[in-house]
Amino acid sequence: MSTSLEGRTAVVTGAGRGLGRAEALELARLGANVVVNDFGAPGRDGSGAASAAPADETVAAIVAEGGRAVAHYGDIADLDTAGQLVELAVEQFGGLDILVNNAGILRDRMVFSMTGEEWDSVIRVHLRGHFATTRAAAGYWRDRAKREGGPVYGRIVNTASEAFVGGSAGQPNYAAAKGGIVGLTLSCASALARYGVTSNVICPRARTRMTEDVFTGTMAAPEQGLDPLAPEHVSPLVGYLASPAAERVNGQVFVVHGGLVAVLGQPPVLARFDTAKDLFTVAELDDLLSPFYADRTPGDGYANVAVLGLRHGD
C-alpha cells in the first residue's frame, strides 16, 4: 500500500529542533502539509533585530524543499491551545489527518532529590501535552466520522522512551510520564479504531538538544559518518506509521534508533499462584512467593533492561 502523504495534513509538536524537526521534514517530503508546533514565538536579539522562532526555521526548511507548512508557537499542554492547533490545520490546509506528539523536556534527578516543580513540569509537558492534543484531534475525527457516516483517516504517533520499560534510575518523572503515554496510546488505539484512527507509540533513542547530556562517553557522536543516534534514523518510522500503508498497525510500541526497529510484545505472566482456600493468608503467600523469588536473579521482574542493549547488527 502507498506511503505517500499527498493531500494529508499533519501536526507535529516540539518540531522546532531535533527529533520533531526531522519528523516534520520527513512528513513534508512524503507530501504532507505540516503544522509545526514549538513553544516560543519570534522575538528580538540583543541588538533589537528580529529573530526567528525555532518553529519558523523548520517551516522555512520545509518550504525551501517545496513543501507547505505553517508555524504554531503555543503551549501544547494547554487544552485551548491544543484545540487551536487542530483549528489551524483545518483553516490552513482543510483538515487534519496525522498527529505526531513529540514535545518534551528533561528535569533529571534521583527521586529523593527531585522537587515538586521538576516532577510537575515533566509530567505536564509530556503526559498532559500528549493528552491535550490527542483530545482535540480525537474529537475532530469523531465528529467528522459522524458527519461522513463512517471511518475517516486518522493517525496518532506518540513518543515514549525506553526509560519507561527499563526503569531509568535518575529519571523518575520522565519514566513515569513515558509509561503514562504508553497507557494513553493503548487506550486510544482501542477507543478510536471504530473511527478509522490508529494510535501507536515510538521509543526513540536520538541525540537532540534535550538529550545531549545523556549520550556521552562511549555513545558520543562519531567524528565521521552518520551518527547512529541521529534523529534521521527515527523519522522514517514516523513517516511509515502516518501513511496508508500502516492501516493495520494499531496499539503498537516500537523502539527505534540507529538502523534498528524493534516491536515490543506483551509482558509475559511469569508465574501464577492460586490459594488453596477461599482467601490468601500472608503465611500462604510466603510459602508460595518466597521460594519463587529465592531462585530468581535480583531485579529480574517487569522491567526489561535488555531492550537498552539493542544495537543495529548485533
With bands split at pLDDT 50, 70 and 90, how would you rate the model's confidence at 308? confident
pLDDT band at 307 (very low <50, low <70, confident <90, very high): confident
pLDDT band at 116 (very low <50, low <70, confident <90, very high): very high
Judged against a pLDDT cut of 70, whether residue 126 lies above it is answered with yes
Average pLDDT, the chain: 91
* Residue that wins the pLDDT comparison between 300 and 215: 300
Confidence (pLDDT) at 299: 75
Mean local confidence (pLDDT), 114-143: 98
At residue 196, does pLDDT exceed 60?
yes
Instruction: Give the tens place of pLDDT for each residue, 138-152.
Output: 999 999 999 999 999
Tell me the catalytic residues: 161, 174, 178
Inform me whether the pLDDT recorded for 259 exceeds 70.
yes
Question: Does 192 have pLDDT greater than 60?
Answer: yes
* All three cell numbers of 150: 463512517
pLDDT at position 40, please?
A: 83
Q: What is the mean pLDDT of residues 1-16?
A: 96
**Contact assessment for residue 124 and residue 77, using Cβ atoms and an 8 Å cutoff:** yes
Percentage of residues in the chain with pLDDT exceeding 70? 91
pLDDT of residue 242 exceeding 90: yes
Q: Which pTM does this prediction carry?
A: 0.90
Instruction: List, for residues 205-241, the tens digit of each pLDDT value.
Output: 977 554 444 444 445 445 545 678 889 999 999 999 9
Closest CA to 302 of 165, 198, 114, 210: 165
Kindly state the average pLDDT of the residues 21-42.
94
Instruction: Name the residue with cell 503467600.
Output: 285
